[in-house]
Amino acid sequence: MGYMEAAPHRLAVLCSHFHPICSADSVYTTTPLNRFSCSSASNCSSIVINEHRTRDSENAILEDDCVFCKIIRGDSPAYKLYEDEKCLCILDASPLSCGHCLLIPKFHFSSLDVTPPSVLAAMCSKIPFIGNAIMKATGCDSFNLLVNNGAAAGQVIFHTHLHIIPRKACDRLWDSESLRRLSLQFNKETSQLVERIRHQLSFSSNTEEMKSHGSPLAGN
């Protein structure tokens, strides 16, 4: 499944979280990337991503059938906004708002939970820099940072990626923004949930020896 082919399915899943006025037919297009622009094509960076890398320090490889790996290798087109040794930022093929972009690692990891902490740290360290640039370029003063981790959460392209989505007041992209949030209950059920999560954190830390994760909380 290609980048443009995957977009309608991914966006159909995401649309369940959006306000009804933001339907897939009215918001998202299948316009080829080399014809898409926010205000004008001259405001977007040039298309070619030339660097071809196959392995990083964690021995991750670029996969032949992954659409993001193809973009990283330069085999598929995309509007490149930012690139360094660890990550690449491109415009989303079917944006929710002008300037909606994807931050992806330059090595293949299928989801956020299997991406090495060092790679995630490198990606996250660029979010303020990239986010501020996008807000200034689009005239926005806010943005959402979104991760769809796993199929049930709406992930369709199984190569870790972070969405940076510029926002304006009253754009009503998220239907959940109008929903009344529930209050956390301080009861036995919640305490048991906390204990189960802490147990899993402790188990993962001991089993995988992930020193960079630190120690789970022992109590309040």
Question: Which two structure tokens, joined as six digits, stand for 50?
Answer: 């030339």
Residues ≥6 apart with Cβ < 8 Å to 194? none
Which residues, listed in sequence order, are joined to residue 167 by a DSSP beta bridge? Answer: 142
Residues ≥6 apart with Cβ < 8 Å to 137? 38, 43, 99
Q: Are 68 and 77 in contact (CB under 8 A)?
A: no
Q: Which of 161, 163, 199, 213 is catalytic?
A: 161
Q: For residue 161, indicate whether it is catalytic.
A: yes
Q: Could you give the residue numbers annotated as active site? A: 161
